[in-house]
Amino acid sequence: MRVLLINSMFFNSVYRRCADELGKIEDIDLTVLTVEGWEMNGKYREADALQVESPYHFIIGKTFWSGKENRGFYVSGLLRAFNIAQPEVIYLMEEPFSLFAIQVLSLAAILFPNTPVVFFTWTNLSLRQFDYRPSVWYSNVSRWVLPRLQYGLTANSDAIKVLTEENFSAPTKMVGYGVDTDSFRSVSESTKRSLREKLDIPNEATIVGFIGRMMWMKGLDLLLDSFAKLKRNTDKPLILLLVGSGTDEPEILSRANDLGLSSSIRHITSVPQTEVPPYIALMDILVLPSRRVRMWAEQFGRVLVEAMAARTLVIGSSSGAIPEVIGNAGFVFEENNANDLFRVLSQVVNLSEDEKNRMLIIGEERAANQYSWKKFAEESSEAIRYVYNNRFA
């Protein structure tokens, strides 16, 4: 099968691991189109170089509105990708309300009108209401796009409900989005020791951690309040490791200072994705305290899977997709409830060694079995094969 895979995020080689695994599947002849660079968290980053002997054709296109994942569109590369791929299936890893989707489907209708399209979506609240985009425009885009798609893969179960509300009648399936679990599982003890020394963290300290954007929606105020309460109620040495930057960073750090936590916090600004594994592996407990804000709720929570793979205990709020990602491999507290987070943190900090090891094993197995890039590629290939076999039905 000749497959054209389109994903703007594949400029980053970490996310491109999906294509690496999909291209290894024997009956798939894969062509990948991505962007020449992308703006993320206010910084522009050029596309990572292609790995030697990558199992696919790789095409880089120029885009307008870089960093605007649903307003961006290709000004070059798309036509070339179609001509090289001669696709029998299109795998569109862009949202169905995006300009990328309009572009791809419009060109496909002209060049390859009988080619079926599999798409992947994160959207877990609505395809009708958008609070940070021109809502009417994007809802109309999705209404035009959805009937022209033949299979929907989703990152969470709520996305299937959203598609059902839009009367999407083609097959749908939730798939565990991929994480490079090997890179988190393989962090050495010497690497962790060196990082602990660099951050001046005592050997006996329990490290509670957060990694991600420092924004209100991520619930860091809840983590600070519950951590401060935990310190007041235990004699155990504790360190809070925060990795990330964001628009609310000054307010968050000011709150930490007001709570008297300055000496107990280690704050590292955003690090490249390739440098994340040692930080997560160093943590004893990773907390993702996200809360719903207007039309945003956590769509996956990749750091939870990364922590499971790194044999780090995980705690998450009940918001969005977090509970279904954690499953039986961690602990969930009530969204937006600092007292409940304190309760769960206290429970996890005081786990017996046997119970701790049991949870770590469950988490490691869950990450490897459900969220590896290989698993994601296999499930994607099943959808691709389905639409290919039914393309003339």
Structure tokens at 362: 């469950």
Higher-confidence residue of 314 and 39: namely 314
Rounded to whole angstroms, how far apart are CA atoms 35 and 112? 22
pLDDT in tens, 223-257: 999 999 999 999 999 999 999 999 999 999 999 99
Rounded to whole angstroms, how far apart are CA atoms 306 and 313? 11
- The pLDDT of 374-383, averaged and rounded, is 96
Q: Strand, helix or coil at 208? A: strand
Whose CA is closest to 155, among 182, 179, 183?
Answer: 179
Rounded to whole angstroms, how far apart are CA atoms 46 and 37? 4
Per-residue pLDDT for 391 more than 90? no
Rounded to whole angstroms, how far apart are CA atoms 77 and 60? 6
Rounded to whole angstroms, how far apart are CA atoms 95 and 120? 7
pLDDT in tens, 110-169: 999 999 999 999 999 999 998 867 889 999 999 999 999 999 999 999 999 999 999 999
Rounded to whole angstroms, how far apart are CA atoms 10 and 13? 6
- The pLDDT of 321-333, averaged and rounded, is 98
337-371: b (≥16 Cβ within 10 Å) or e? bbebbbbbbeebbeeeeeebeebbeebbebbbebb
Per-residue pLDDT for 337 more than 80? yes
Write down the pLDDT at residue 64.
87
* DSSP state letter for 263: G
Of the CA atoms within 13 Å of residue 44, those in its CB half-sphere come to 7
pLDDT in tens, 268-318: 998 888 899 999 999 999 999 999 999 999 999 999 999 999 999 999 999
Write down the pLDDT at residue 132.
66
CB atoms within 10 A of CB 112: 19
% of the chain residues with pLDDT over 90: 87
Per-residue pLDDT for 100 more than 70? yes
Provide the pLDDT confidence category of residue 43 given band limits of 50, 70 and 90: confident
Write down the pLDDT at residue 145.
97
pLDDT in tens, 68-89: 778 889 999 999 999 999 999 9
Provide the pLDDT confidence category of residue 41 given band limits of 50, 70 and 90: low
The mean predicted confidence, pLDDT, of the chain is 94
For 4-13, 66-75, 329-338, 351-360, which range has the lowest pLDDT when averaged over its residues?
66-75
